[in-house]
């Protein structure tokens, strides 16, 4: 108990740092849920950010905590985690997020956090500390989530085009505006359900490592609430550079396409959250945007921009793992 008391200021500082990561996640990934409604001018940027923040927080009342448990104990063995490992993981992830945000590249905050955790955790306890089942499902999702999102969004484009084939253009446009707003709300809920939970898992495993959870791993209610608040505030701050890339530079969107992209992404996120798989909301919506663009015609997609995004995905885990390992070494000195 004395060990916990001595470490308490450090634990508080790390919890604040984790919430800062969640804030940056909301800032960085705000584009995911509002890019389509901004680029189609369905909502103004300010309205869209408020809209996304509200529905991010609504996820608190919708989903369980399976994703939080995967991150907390399914990437690195929870029994080898130390405050230094958490510090390295958070700084690794935050550094990569800031670099990609600055460059306007929609990389994944989720995979940056997992990369940071892998880098710091392996340096601390070796490769035996890696929980391969969780890592495999997460890395598989790097490939599968955008591909499935792309296919589902293309199918939705085809089905909805067929359903509205005999409707006048004006009536169809009005219907798709309403559907687009609904699908964007669903996507924001999916974003809150998957992304905010990753930080919950990090804070919970930190508390567990210091004996503050009574010996059994669980996510306390105050951790859940504070993570949703931090992400909501981050979303309110907006991520305009990334919104521009997602909403207009990959392909130009109509309300019809915006609806299909957001709906396809929501289906993917809800399924992943139900199974406790921490997927990248960024990867998912990018795949969906490419899918609806390609459904119109392949030349509608700016493939050079999409290619740059894919390269960022592939580099995220190794880059943040390297930075996480470096900052773990820095933390050991202190």
Mean pLDDT of the region 22-29: 80
**Which two structure tokens, joined as six digits, stand for 168?**
């006048």
- Helix and strand totals (H; E) in the chain: 12, 0
Q: Is the pLDDT of residue 253 over 70?
A: yes
Question: Given phi > 0 = left and psi -120 to 50 = alpha, else beta, which region is 254?
Answer: beta
Over the stretch 131-177, which tens digit does the pLDDT of each residue have?
999 999 988 887 788 889 999 999 999 999 999 988 898 899 899 99
- 26, 50 Cβ separation under 8 angstroms: no
- 263, 154 Cβ separation under 8 angstroms: no
Q: Is the pLDDT of residue 121 over 60?
A: yes
Pairwise CA distance, residues 84 & 116, whole Å: 12
270 to 147, 179, 264, 279: CA distances (angstroms): 16, 18, 10, 10
**Which two structure tokens, joined as six digits, stand for 153?**
């969004």
Over the stretch 184-243, which tens digit does the pLDDT of each residue have?
899 989 888 888 899 999 999 999 999 999 889 999 999 999 998 898 888 777 655 555
Pairwise CA distance, residues 258 & 37, whole Å: 7
pTM: 0.84
Pairwise CA distance, residues 265 & 149, whole Å: 6
Instruction: Determine whether 131 is exposed, middle or buried from the number of CB atoms within 10 Å of its CB (0-12, 13-18, 19+).
Output: middle
């Amino acid at each position: 108990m004395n060990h916990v008391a001595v470490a308490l200021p450090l634990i508080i500082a790390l919890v604040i740092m984790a919430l800062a990561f969640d804030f940056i996640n909301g800032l960085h990934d705000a584009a995911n849920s509002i890019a389509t409604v901004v680029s189609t001018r369905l909502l103004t940027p300010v309205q869209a950010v408020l809209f996304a923040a509200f529905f991010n927080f609504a996820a608190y009342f919708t989903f369980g905590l399976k994703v939080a448990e995967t991150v907390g104990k399914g990437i690195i063995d929870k029994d080898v985690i130390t405050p230094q490992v958490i510090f390295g993981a958070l700084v690794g992830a935050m550094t990569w997020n800031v670099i990609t945000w600055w460059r306007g590249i929609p990389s994944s905050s989720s995979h940056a956090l997992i990369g940071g955790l892998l880098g710091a955790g392996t340096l601390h306890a070796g490769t035996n500390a890696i929980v391969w089942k969780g890592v495999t499902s997460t890395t598989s999702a790097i490939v599968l989530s955008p591909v499935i999102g792309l296919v589902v969004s293309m199918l939705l484009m085809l089905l909805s085009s067929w359903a509205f084939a005999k409707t006048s253009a004006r009536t169809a446009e009005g219907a798709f505006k309403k559907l687009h707003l609904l699908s964007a709300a669903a996507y924001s809920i999916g974003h809150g359900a998957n992304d905010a939970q990753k930080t919950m898992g990090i804070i919970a495993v930190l508390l567990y490592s210091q004996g503050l959870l009574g010996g059994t791993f669980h996510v306390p209610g105050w951790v859940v609430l504070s993570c949703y608040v931090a992400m909501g505030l981050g979303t309110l701050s907006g991520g305009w550079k990334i919104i521009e890339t997602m909403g207009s530079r990959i392909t130009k969107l109509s309300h019809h396409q915006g609806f299909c992209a957001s709906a396809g992404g929501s289906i993917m996120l809800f399924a992943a959250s139900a199974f406790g798989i921490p997927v990248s909301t960024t990867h998912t919506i990018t795949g969906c945007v490419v899918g609806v663009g390609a459904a119109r015609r392949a030349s509608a997609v700016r493939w050079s921009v999409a290619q740059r995004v894919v390269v960022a995905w592939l580099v995220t885990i190794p880059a943040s793992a390297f930075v996480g390992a470096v900052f773990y070494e820095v933390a050991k000195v202190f």
